[in-house]
Structure 1
Amino acid sequence: MDSTVAPRAASPIIVPGQLTLRTIRGRNGPFTVGRLTTHLGVFEVKDAELEQYPEGKYDGEFVIRYIYPKAYPTGGGMRFEIRANLDGMTLSGIDKLSRDEARGFVSQDVDPLDEELGTQAVATPTATPQPAPAPVQASSDPLVDTTPFGVDTPSATLAASSAADSDDAALFGLLWPLAESVKLDSSIDRRTLRAQIARLGALGYALDFKSQQWNRQPDLQAA
């Protein structure tokens, strides 16, 4: 038996430890990778649940579902690591990463989304800047509507708001309409989860890492 391979847990176990999270910017946008340090060893963690948490070091207790070896191509070669799959966690504190700790993560780390989809990294196309629209000249005659096509009017603004609500309803599903506190389901596909996280931030929610739920912030205006 290879002594470098950690034993696979027969059933979930709870261990104290520290989870270090690093945010890396990839072609799909920022993604999060983790490293769990426990008395059992040090394990890489790529669970979708981690997408919600900001970069840092989290102390707490972790429910490890299983441990397994993983090899994947990166940078023209192969990387081998021991991963832990979490079944839950209770976090008690957070500290910032030092520069050395941040450098301890592989900058070419594969986005878990690409790994799940089995895709290869490609260059992200650059958007072509569009010229600014010309200023709108209003008519002095109240009976003549000179508003150009495509310019927002009160009715157009209302329609846009309704469209945004419809998009949010489709994005959040059973969670819509959103309550003051929202608990995301990390078992959904990772791309949708990332979209939900980004939208919650835009709507004025912030993550409470101890309760592991998003709370609406009273000082912020919803987008």
Structure 2
Amino acid sequence: MEPTADPWLFTITVPGKLAVRKIHGRNGPFNVGHLVTPIGKFAVKDAMLEQYPEGKYDGEFVISYIDVKAYPSGGGFRLENRATLDSMALSGIDKLSRAEARAISNQEVDPLDEELGIQPAMPATAPPPEPAPVQASKDPLIDTTPFGVETPSAAVAASDGPDSDDAALFGLLWPLEESVKLDSTIDRRTLRAQIARLSQLGYALDFKSQLWSVGADQQAA
């Protein structure tokens, strides 16, 4: 007998509204989303959301997987319908209303902890610690580069010069051009460090093109 196809696994493109909220947790700030579409309402925890400023976005969303997820909440467990996005094309942004912000609990589990199988150990409202910098080892026999980050600028990284940390962090993207497109498939901790560093260097995200550029307007409608 042939195996039955998984009814939750498919690819479909739907219009919708995506509310993205920034929450401060023990690993620092992280983004979660609620997606409203003609086929239902879904939680979205994809790494691609890490780049986007808080707000409500109009667009088209390519959903590749839907499942029901349970996670700790308020001493018990909460079930949510979760959608995994293959990609999205955004066309506009508005500020979240109070009701929309309240709909996304500030007790959400950080997706990074979820991926690592770590149970929440402290309230999400606690002051976030400073994220640990991503550094390359100076010992050529020890590779501490995060998984998924290639570092062709090894000579720069090993030089211990002012650009060495950035070269190790950005890998193939280094040296940075005026416009940069991040790879959301790398590990989430490194992606967050890249986003934070780009902001420090004066880059901003154009959410329509999904490019980080010097002087770009994040809130362009």
User: What TM-score results when the alignment is normalised by the length of structure 2?
Assistant: 0.76
Give 1:162 shift: 5.7
Aligned residue for 1:36?
Answer: 35
Deviation at 1:126, TM superposition (A): 9.5
Question: Using the alignment, how far apart are the partners of 1:39 and 1:217 within structure 2?
Answer: 36
* Equivalent position of 1:8 in the other structure: 8
**Cα distance, 1:163 vs structure 2:** 3.1
> Quick one: structure 1 residues 125 and 31, their matched pair in 2 at CA, closer, same or farther if it must change by over 3 Å?
closer
- Of the two, which has the highest radius of gyration? 1
RMSD between aligned residues? 2.0
Whether contact under 8 Å (2:69, 2:81) holds in the other structure is: yes
**Aligned with 2:162: secondary structure?**
helix
**Does the CA-based 8 Å contact 2:204-2:215 persist in structure 1?**
yes
Aligned pair in 2 of structure 1 residues 166, 56: CA closer, same or farther (>3 Å)?
same
Alignment of structure 1 residues 118-197 onto 2, 5 Å:
118-122=117-121, 163-197=161-195
Q: In percent, how many aligned pairs have the same letter?
A: 70
Superimposed CA distance per residue, residues 160-187 of structure 1 (whole angstroms, 9 cap, x where no aligned partner): x963311000000000000110000000
Question: For residues 58 and 86 of structure 1, what CA distance do their matches in structure 2 show?
Answer: 15
Compute the displacement of 1:74 (Å).
Answer: 2.4
Runs of 4 or more off by more than 6 Å in structure 1?
124-127
| Whole-angstrom distance in 1 between the partners of 2:128 and 2:51 | 27
Number of residues of Structure 1 aligned to a counterpart in Structure 2: 178
For structure 1, list consecutive stretches of 5 or more residues without a partner in the other structure. 1-6, 128-160, 219-223
Structure 1 length-normalised TM: 0.75
Secondary structure of the equivalent of 1:119? coil
1:199 aligns with 2:189: no
Determine if contact 2:25/2:127 at 8 Å carries over to the other structure. no
Q: Secondary structure at the match of 1:108?
A: coil
Runs of 5+ unmatched residues, structure 2:
1-6, 130-158, 217-221
What residue in structure 1 maps to residue 219 of structure 2? none
Relative to structure 1, the CA distance from residue 125 to residue 96 in structure 2 (aligned partners, 3 Å threshold; closer, same or farther) is closer
